[in-house]
Chain A
Amino acid sequence: MKCKKLVDVGRRQFLRGGALAAAGAAAATVTPGQAKAAPAMAQVDYPSNRLANIADLKVNEPMDIEYPDADSPGVLLKLGQEVEGGVGPDGDIVAFSVLCPHKGYGLSYNGEDRTLNCPGHFSRFDVEAGGQQVWGHATQNLPQFTLRVDDKGDIYAEGCTDLIFGRPSNVL
């Protein structure tokens, strides 16, 4: 009991007072019987999916991707200059969900000012600033996919920073 409390406190601090002390319980009940999912998982188990090889990417040309599954469209971008959270030798590769976290409309990329824009209600997100909502109605920044690049230059997605629109869990 004491241990569990400590775990909860730790998670709460980690979330900076955000929202979710109940995450573990959620996963447990969603899939009854799999009690092993309950303890202190920082995030759900994500697939490690190869998205592309660095050689496939051209600066500022968005590549359509799907992650963590085929129903969740995203975009992979090489920006040509280092950005926070960017991976690869130039620290400039990022990937985001393109479902607007307001009402789930598909975002379109504007290469001129490097933003993702929502035709639904005119929200927009800055891919050079970690998907920060420049202006809009969403109550979170754009879910950013956690990337890893291996020795061969293959780019893998292995996690996500925020809840993707239209699902109660990023991995359904």
Chain B
Amino acid sequence: MAYKRQIDRLPIPPKDAKVHNVTCHYCIVGCGYKAYTWPRTKQGTLKDNAFGIDLSEQQGADGTWVAPSMYNVVKQDGEDVHLVVVPDKDCVVNSGLTSIRGARMAENRPSQVTGTQQQRLTDPMVWRNGTWQPTSWEDALDLVARVTARVITQGSEDDLVVSMFDHGGSAGGYENTWGTGKLYFQSMKVKNARIHNRPAYNSEVHSTRDMGVGELNYAYKDYEITDTIFMVGANSMETQTNLFLNHMRKGLENGARMVIVDPRRTLTVHTAEEIAGKENVLHLAIKPGSDMALFNAILTHIVDQGWTDKDFIEASTYRDGEAVAMDSAHPAGLGSLEYAMETCRTSPEEAAEICGVDAADIIKAAEWIAKPKEDGSRRKCVTCYEKGIIWGNDNYRTVGALVNVALATGNIGREGGGCCRLGGHQEGYYRPSDAHVGRPATYIDQLLIRGGGKVHHVWACDHYKTTLNAAEFKRVHRRRANIVKDAMDASATGTREQQVEAIVAAVNAGGLFVVDMDIIHSQIGQNAHVILPAAESNEMNLTSMNGERRLRLSEKYMDPPGQAMPDCLIAAGIARHMERVLREMGHDEYADKFKGYDWKTEEDAFMDGYHQGNPDVTYDRLRAMGNNGVQEPVVGYEGGKLVGTERLYADGKFDRHGREDKKALFCAAGWRGWQAPGKAQEQKSFRFWINNVRANIFWQNQFLDQENDFIQDRFPYPFVEMHPDDMAELSLNPGDLIEIHNENGATQGMAYPTDTAKRGQVAMVFGSPAGSQGNVVNPGVNELVLPDYKHTWGDIRKLADATPRAKAVSFKSKEYKG
């Protein structure tokens, strides 16, 4: 039976409720919401309320309505208050729309009154006497600093491994990336770092940057005024929902066509067809990993037909052959269009063979993208892409090949154009230079597996769910962490100094001392020796920018749970303790490097970091800009308003690569089949391609959703979409628990019959706590250590009949059938 809330009325916000600006802290789109808070004993009425409407009347479609998921009771300045978080109709990003994620922000707050999110960490904890025991910040940070300082002074900063988020929204943002960045890249120069979703500290889109094209260069409204939307390896209806519904949809309704490249028939394909008609949507269901050959053929056809934007190419792109040679930091050469064409030239027929689609459809895609209109005018095209190629085959060259098409057609920096990644989290990166990390960066997971590193600081990352080669990583990480746990247990009755001695001896004998900063007790947190509770958006003020670089301040409206605090202040705490401990140890000069963290609030961290680089931007000014904020880069402050930049490169000057000539470069994207080691062999050895996909209902690795009844009722186990005939051959019924296995490991999920799936291809939801797809992904990465998560093959066997929970779930098609 479906989950019933059994809630049939809600409190009404009174007219004098406090109103706070909220940017949804989940996906990159960053929809605007308003949070209303008011005292527990107060109440609005049907006629007199904060919304200023007569609530005794049934509201029509799109009317103001508070769903039960938009309500909670939270702590504000120590008092219980009512909370309602509703979409903001005046925000240009979402125009009052909600997603299944954002509309649950309120109910995903921790509340002692309603019992929600009681999994949130409330106290620092230290491994003591065989378990984690709550303690004070002073005690926990002292241990972190003593062990860390001892290890890096006995050895070097290379013995400290750091996993840290680099994103906005959630618990990221400019405040927290700065706090952590200052600690590890300024006070220290930590080289062995990695980012939350990949095993190194690197860009996911090195090539577009090397070509001069920053990956977020358009405005969302470009989708509304374009002629063609060219989407690759993305499923925006599910993962950037209101970008699709509020902007792409308007474009399609205005007559735009859409080309979608994805091996799978996604809900975005289906919905685009519903909106624009099948005749205006071209789905190129290519063979997995063959994107680059397709882009090269499209580019070749455009060049051969003379549909390139010659003026743009002449004025804004490099014209003199090779500009950057291929080397260990550049998996492809970069230069002029003609230079790139020497490598990229691919006929539609050749690409058809590689990609498994009709040559006529490749030509059709090229025409929709670039063939001039009948009056000779240029066709506008927005190009957008995400994990399908970012986490795909040959990341550098594939992304480069796609940007080539946008550059050749002059579709960057112009209305109705743009060539952008769609993004996952919001952005919110402001850190000191990471140049010391090097390029290629160290493959951190392999470093840890080989026994490298002695102390591991983990900031809001759960590699148990979100890394590749996860089965091996988990085995080794747990074993090394247990060496330290055993040493701590054995020295439990000793003094702090004796305990530190024991820990240091353990890490010198192959152990790993793990410090985990997070909002919940995560799966990797099971290996931690110190756990530090963090706050997230709206428990702190937090600034981020969305996928069109729209910067907003999402305001604090409630207290963090227990002793939890913002990551930037945790980082500052670690720094202060490092300074003290290093001074005690007699390392005065080193200790001095940890000065400059006397922040009392997250605003102090913001002013110390982002504001220094962007002196026009302050909290007060951002607050005044409300939910529409300002598009970065901010170029001034006039008439009481911050002045931003609607789209990048409008002047035809490209600077992301740092070249003085400000000319964009083309990428010599030579097709070479499977790039990452082991992929070709795995494909031959196993029956099913295991695509890893996202679903609108889950936010990332479900860290909050795993405790949300509505969500877990719908998918109690990670779904694996399979063709019904494949299921029949394996004697599987809907909801049966299945195991996916190969030479890398095994994982499990729930069979979900899907008519539109191709035979031999299954789609498993990524990042589930109940089945990590990363277990079966091999360690293969590209030259710059970008993982190819998307390409995994395995066999499938039945584990168990559908459980009662699974039997209660609907297994009908996810496609709208109006």
- Which of A135, A167, A168 has the most CB atoms of chain B within a 10 A radius of its CB? A168
- A residues in contact with B245, CB < 8 Å: 121
CA distance A10 to B118 in the complex (A): 18
- Judged by a CB distance under 8 angstroms, whether B808 is at the interface is yes
Once the chains bind, are B816 and A17 in contact (CB under 8 Å)?
Answer: no
Interface segment, one of B96-104, B152-160, B276-284, B333-341: B96-104
Beta-carbon contacts under 8 Å, B1-25 to A: 1-12
- A residues in contact with B72, CB < 8 Å: 19
CA distance A16 to B51 in the complex (A): 29
Once the chains bind, are B82 and A22 in contact (CB under 8 Å)?
Answer: yes
CA distance A46 to B673 in the complex (A): 65
- Knowing A122-B271, A137-B103, A137-B241, the reply to whether A117 touches B5 (Cβ < 8 A) is no
CB distance from A101 to the nearest CB of B (A): 7
- Judged by a CB distance under 8 angstroms, whether A7 is at the interface is no
| Chain A, residue nearest B4 (CB) | A161
- Judged by a CB distance under 8 angstroms, whether A88 is at the interface is no
- A residues in contact with B104, CB < 8 Å: 139
- Judged by a CB distance under 8 angstroms, whether B817 is at the interface is yes
Once the chains bind, are B11 and A22 in contact (CB under 8 Å)?
Answer: yes
- Judged by a CB distance under 8 angstroms, whether A67 is at the interface is no
- Judged by a CB distance under 8 angstroms, whether B114 is at the interface is yes
| Chain B, residue nearest A8 (CB) | B113
- Knowing A122-B816, A137-B98, the reply to whether A17 touches B65 (Cβ < 8 A) is no
With beta carbons under 8 angstroms apart, the residue of A30, A43, A115, A131 that contacts B46 is A30
- Knowing A110-B818, A165-B65, A166-B63, the reply to whether A19 touches B71 (Cβ < 8 A) is yes
- Judged by a CB distance under 8 angstroms, whether B60 is at the interface is yes
- Judged by a CB distance under 8 angstroms, whether A132 is at the interface is yes
Once the chains bind, are B817 and A21 in contact (CB under 8 Å)?
Answer: no
With beta carbons under 8 angstroms apart, the residue of A20, A113, A129, A134 that contacts B7 is A20
Once the chains bind, are B113 and A21 in contact (CB under 8 Å)?
Answer: yes
Beta-carbon contacts under 8 Å, B66-113 to A: 66-73, 82, 97-100, 103-104, 107, 113
With beta carbons under 8 angstroms apart, the residue of A103, A130, A168, A172 that contacts B2 is A130
Beta-carbon contacts under 8 Å, A90-104 to B: 101-104
- B residues in contact with A118, CB < 8 Å: 816, 818
| Chain B, residue nearest A170 (CB) | B8
Query: Binding site of A, secondary structure by majority: helix, strand, loop or mixed?
Result: loop
- Judged by a CB distance under 8 angstroms, whether A25 is at the interface is yes
- B residues in contact with A166, CB < 8 Å: 58-60, 63, 65
- A residues in contact with B696, CB < 8 Å: 135, 137
Once the chains bind, are B100 and A137 in contact (CB under 8 Å)?
Answer: yes
- Knowing A71-B58, A104-B65, the reply to whether A139 touches B103 (Cβ < 8 A) is yes
CB distance from A131 to the nearest CB of B (A): 6
Once the chains bind, are B8 and A163 in contact (CB under 8 Å)?
Answer: yes
Beta-carbon contacts under 8 Å, A130-148 to B: 130-141, 144
Beta-carbon contacts under 8 Å, B573-594 to A: none
- A residues in contact with B65, CB < 8 Å: 104, 165-167
- A residues in contact with B61, CB < 8 Å: 103-106, 120
Once the chains bind, are B67 and A140 in contact (CB under 8 Å)?
Answer: yes
- Which of B65, B69, B815 has the most CB atoms of chain A within a 10 A radius of its CB? B65
| Chain A, residue nearest B56 (CB) | A172
Once the chains bind, are A113 and B817 in contact (CB under 8 Å)?
Answer: yes
CB distance from A151 to the nearest CB of B (A): 26
CA distance A29 to B815 in the complex (A): 43
With beta carbons under 8 angstroms apart, the residue of A32, A104, A112, A162 that contacts B4 is A162
- Knowing A71-B58, A104-B61, A117-B818, the reply to whether A30 touches B71 (Cβ < 8 A) is no
Once the chains bind, are B63 and A104 in contact (CB under 8 Å)?
Answer: yes
CB distance from A15 to the nearest CB of B (A): 7
Once the chains bind, are A126 and B810 in contact (CB under 8 Å)?
Answer: yes
- Judged by a CB distance under 8 angstroms, whether B45 is at the interface is yes
CA distance A108 to B817 in the complex (A): 9
- B residues in contact with A85, CB < 8 Å: 1
| Chain B, residue nearest A69 (CB) | B58
Once the chains bind, are B816 and A117 in contact (CB under 8 Å)?
Answer: yes
- B residues in contact with A63, CB < 8 Å: none
- Knowing A44-B8, A163-B9, the reply to whether A20 touches B68 (Cβ < 8 A) is yes
- Judged by a CB distance under 8 angstroms, whether A27 is at the interface is yes
- Judged by a CB distance under 8 angstroms, whether A80 is at the interface is no
Bits for A25-56, please: 1 = Cβ < 8 Å to B, else 0: 11111101000000000111000000000000
Beta-carbon contacts under 8 Å, B457-474 to A: none
- Knowing A30-B43, A110-B818, A122-B274, the reply to whether A18 touches B68 (Cβ < 8 A) is yes
- Knowing A17-B709, A20-B68, the reply to whether A110 touches B5 (Cβ < 8 A) is no
- Judged by a CB distance under 8 angstroms, whether B813 is at the interface is yes
- A-B contact number at CB 8 A: 229
Once the chains bind, are B816 and A168 in contact (CB under 8 Å)?
Answer: no
Once the chains bind, are B267 and A135 in contact (CB under 8 Å)?
Answer: yes
- B residues in contact with A137, CB < 8 Å: 97-100, 103, 241, 696
Once the chains bind, are A129 and B810 in contact (CB under 8 Å)?
Answer: yes
Bits for B36-66, please: 1 = Cβ < 8 Å to A, else 0: 0000110111100000000111111111011
- Judged by a CB distance under 8 angstroms, whether B600 is at the interface is no
CA distance A144 to B3 in the complex (A): 11
- Judged by a CB distance under 8 angstroms, whether B239 is at the interface is no
- Judged by a CB distance under 8 angstroms, whether B812 is at the interface is yes
- Which of B2, B7, B696, B812 has the most CB atoms of chain A within a 10 A radius of its CB? B2
- Knowing A30-B43, A144-B4, A163-B5, the reply to whether A119 touches B241 (Cβ < 8 A) is no
- Judged by a CB distance under 8 angstroms, whether A61 is at the interface is no
Once the chains bind, are A72 and B58 in contact (CB under 8 Å)?
Answer: yes
CB distance from B13 to the nearest CB of A (A): 10
- Knowing A17-B114, A166-B59, A167-B58, the reply to whether A134 touches B71 (Cβ < 8 A) is no
With beta carbons under 8 angstroms apart, the residue of B9, B10, B812, B816 that contacts A126 is B812
With beta carbons under 8 angstroms apart, the residue of B44, B56, B67, B816 that contacts A101 is B67
- Judged by a CB distance under 8 angstroms, whether B363 is at the interface is no
CB distance from B74 to the nearest CB of A (A): 12
Once the chains bind, are A21 and B6 in contact (CB under 8 Å)?
Answer: no
Once the chains bind, are A12 and B11 in contact (CB under 8 Å)?
Answer: no
With beta carbons under 8 angstroms apart, the residue of B8, B60, B73, B115 that contacts A169 is B8
| Chain A, residue nearest B58 (CB) | A71
- Judged by a CB distance under 8 angstroms, whether B522 is at the interface is no
Once the chains bind, are A140 and B5 in contact (CB under 8 Å)?
Answer: yes
- B residues in contact with A129, CB < 8 Å: 1-2, 808-810
- Knowing A29-B43, A113-B817, A137-B696, the reply to whether A14 touches B812 (Cβ < 8 A) is no
CA distance A111 to B278 in the complex (A): 23
- Judged by a CB distance under 8 angstroms, whether A124 is at the interface is yes
Once the chains bind, are B68 and A132 in contact (CB under 8 Å)?
Answer: no
- Knowing A17-B116, A166-B59, the reply to whether A139 touches B710 (Cβ < 8 A) is yes
CA distance A162 to B59 in the complex (A): 16
Bits for B797-817, please: 1 = Cβ < 8 Å to A, else 0: 000000000001110111111
Once the chains bind, are A104 and B116 in contact (CB under 8 Å)?
Answer: no
Beta-carbon contacts under 8 Å, A70-90 to B: 71-72, 84-85
Once the chains bind, are B11 and A26 in contact (CB under 8 Å)?
Answer: yes
| Chain A, residue nearest B103 (CB) | A139
CB distance from B235 to the nearest CB of A (A): 12
With beta carbons under 8 angstroms apart, the residue of A16, A101, A106, A167 that contacts B55 is A167
CB distance from A150 to the nearest CB of B (A): 24
Knowing that A117-B816, A166-B59 touch, tell me 8 more A-B residue pairs with CB under 8 angstroms.
A19-B114, A22-B73, A101-B67, A110-B818, A140-B69, A162-B6, A168-B55, A170-B8
20 A-B pairs with CB atoms under 8 Å apart are A15-B6, A15-B114, A18-B68, A20-B7, A20-B71, A21-B113, A21-B114, A23-B9, A103-B62, A118-B816, A132-B713, A132-B714, A134-B812, A140-B5, A141-B2, A162-B4, A162-B68, A163-B9, A169-B8, A170-B9
Q: Which 3 A-B pairs have the closest CB atoms?
A: A29-B43, A17-B115, A130-B2
Interface residues of chain A, those whose CB is within 8 Å of chain B, are 12, 14-23, 25-30, 32, 42-44, 71-72, 84-85, 101-106, 108, 110, 112-113, 115, 117-124, 126, 128-141, 144, 159-172
